[in-house]
């Protein structure tokens, strides 16, 4: 079974631009979560999508948004990029059964550099 895939793997943008990152979960996984990893703040939860709805949200400004499609693929968007948005963005997918969301499996990440 293929793992979580993320595209692109690397991105370079300039301040003020916007960016869209994509995540394809493991087949059968319907929950997709996004995390930001930086040297200073470590790993921080951005949001989670399930059944095309945002189910949980972390403490990030509204410039960070996401969506999920009917095939469970997810995208996240960052508008008006700031230098501090430079980070590794990780996507994780989980299998869901009823009220239980199982272990998260992570993709390789997208490395975003903002100049």
Partner 1 sequence: GNSVTQMEGPVTLSEEAFLTINCTYTATGYPSLFWYVQYPGEGLQLLLKATKADDKGSNKGFEATYRKETTSFHLEKGSVQVSDSAVYFCALSDLAGANSKLTFGKGITLSVRP
Interface with partner 1 (CB under 8 A): 4, 6, 31, 33, 35, 42-43, 45, 48, 50, 55-56, 58, 90, 92, 94, 99-109
Nearer to partner 1, 10 or 14 (CB): 10
Q: Is 66 helix (H, G, I), strand (E, B) or coil?
A: strand
Q: How far is CA 74 from the centre of its chain?
A: 7
What is the nearest approach in angstroms of partner 1 to the Cβ of residue 80?
A: 26
Nearer to partner 1, 17 or 44 (CB): 44
In Å, what is the CA distance from 43 to each residue of 5, 15, 21, 38, 52? 19, 22, 17, 7, 24
Nearer to partner 1, 14 or 54 (CB): 54
What is the nearest approach in angstroms of partner 1 to the Cβ of residue 57?
A: 9
Contact 66, 55 (CB under 8 A): no
């Amino acid at each position: 079974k293929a793992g979580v895939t993320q595209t692109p793997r690397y991105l370079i943008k300039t301040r003020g631009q916007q960016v869209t990152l994509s995540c394809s979960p493991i087949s059968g996984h319907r929950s997709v979560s996004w995390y930001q990893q930086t040297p200073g703040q470590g790993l921080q939860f951005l949001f989670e999508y399930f059944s095309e709805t945002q189910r949980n949200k972390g403490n990030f400004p509204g410039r960070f948004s996401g969506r999920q499609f009917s095939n469970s693929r997810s995208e996240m968007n960052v508008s008006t990029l700031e230098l501090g948005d430079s980070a590794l963005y990780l996507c994780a997918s989980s299998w869901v059964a009823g009220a239980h969301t199982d272990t998260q499996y992570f993709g390789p990440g997208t490395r975003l550099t903002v100049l």
